[in-house]
Amino acid sequence: MNKKHICFIFLIFCFSNILFAQTQVEMNQTGLQNFIKADNELNKVYNQLMKILDKKEKQLLITAEKDWLKFRDSHCEFEKVQYEGGSIQPLIYSTCLEELTRKRITEIKTSIKNRNL
């Protein structure tokens, strides 16, 4: 591959985000949709775990989940505050919610796996 090809590929790579750019509103909407998908998956795996727990474990999980939701929401409020007034703030918030929700999904799936051994 000669230098011209390498430079051309490099330029395409550098500017690809511009070629496929979305508006901030579209990115905010996509971020919210991604969080909603993650939240739906969380509800699904949470219900799967609840089905295999005894009464005491169910109550402990309910308490833990309520506490976790409070943590997730307050942490993401904290993360978005530095972008107050900016058009990116909704994306920061929904991305934070999605990331923490996906981590929680992994934790719950691990609990399911460990109980099914």
Could you give the CA distance from residue 33 to residue 41 in angstroms, rounded to a whole number? 12
The amino acid at 97: L
Assigned CATH class of 24-114: mainly alpha
18 — pLDDT class (breaks 50, 70, 90): very low
What one-character-per-residue DSSP string does the chain give? Answer: --HHHHHHHHHHHHHHHHHT---HHHHHHHHHHHHHHHHHHHHHHHHHHHHT--HHHHHHHHHHHHHHHHHHHHHHHHHHHTTTT-TTHHHHHHHHHHHHHHHHHHHHHHHHHHHT-
**pLDDT for residue 88:** 94
The amino acid at 40: N
Average model confidence (pLDDT) for the chain? 89
pTM: 0.80
Q: Where do the domains of the chain lie? A: 24-114
Q: Model confidence over 21-68: pLDDT tens digits?
A: 589 988 999 999 999 999 999 999 999 999 999 999 999 999 999 999
| pLDDT (average), residues 4-17 | 54
